Amino acid sequence: MPDEITIPEMCYSELAVTDEEWEEQIESKRKLHLRRIIAFEMDDELYGADIAEVAEILDMAPIMPLPNVPEFVMGVANLRGTILPVIDLRIMFSLSHKPFDENSRIIVLTDEQFVAGIVVDRLWELLRLDQDSFQPPPPDVAKIYPEYFKEVTPVRGRMLIVLDIKRLLTETSKKLSGKG
């Protein structure tokens, strides 16, 4: 009979965690896979933007019209001394006209090169969604031009359309500068 093999005792207490610690570890790992999306409504559809692309959300403010700009540019607003171009998404996306009301908001969007506000019908919610739930949009998923959205995900029985903010801002910047 071969010699008996002894396995050194390990200190398993160092590996053990309480139920509370286990839950905290699971929750912290889950948070790594969450995306934060500002969701808003336009023409009864749910749209969103990654929180990193949203600088702030404003109540409707006075907008000064500008001559010789694309039709979807409502004009500019004064944001604490900064001139902010304001885009009417309803016109940009060829949606039906709706007057602004107490629910209308200006969402200030930003990328590395351009800042602009978009007018939306109603702010919906700040969502925290699992990264794995997002998928490329199927054709004809929304009333808007497909080049302006990048992903979709189901949210509480509705389809959330995540806008391609970088493209939206780049296209707007080009059109405002006369290069688009």
Domains of the chain: 37-176 (2.40.50.180)
Q: Which residue has the tokens 């540019």?
A: 73
Give the pLDDT score at 20. Answer: 83
DSSP assigned state of 136: P
* pLDDT tens by residue, the chain, 180 residues: 556 655 555 544 455 667 787 777 666 665 567 899 999 999 888 999 999 999 999 999 999 999 988 899 999 999 888 899 999 988 888 888 889 999 999 999 998 888 999 999 999 999 999 988 999 887 766 556 677 888 999 999 999 999 999 988 888 888 877 765
Kind and range of the H or E run holding 24: helix 19-32
Determine the Cα–Cα distance for residues 49 and 165; give it in Å rounded to an integer: 7
Q: Rounded mean pLDDT of the chain?
A: 84
Give the pLDDT score at 174. Answer: 83
Give the pLDDT score at 12. Answer: 46
Query: What six digits make up the tokens of 62?
Result: 């006075």
10 Å CB burial of residue 172 (0-12, 13-18, 19+) is buried
Determine the Cα–Cα distance for residues 63 and 77; give it in Å rounded to an integer: 5
* pTM score: 0.78
Give the pLDDT score at 113. Answer: 83
Determine the Cα–Cα distance for residues 39 and 55; give it in Å rounded to an integer: 14
Who contacts 167 (Cβ-Cβ below 8 Å, separation ≥6)? Answer: 147, 148
pLDDT of 152-168, one tens digit each? 999 999 999 999 999 88
3 state SS of 111: coil
Do 133 and 154 touch, CB atoms closer than 8 A?
yes
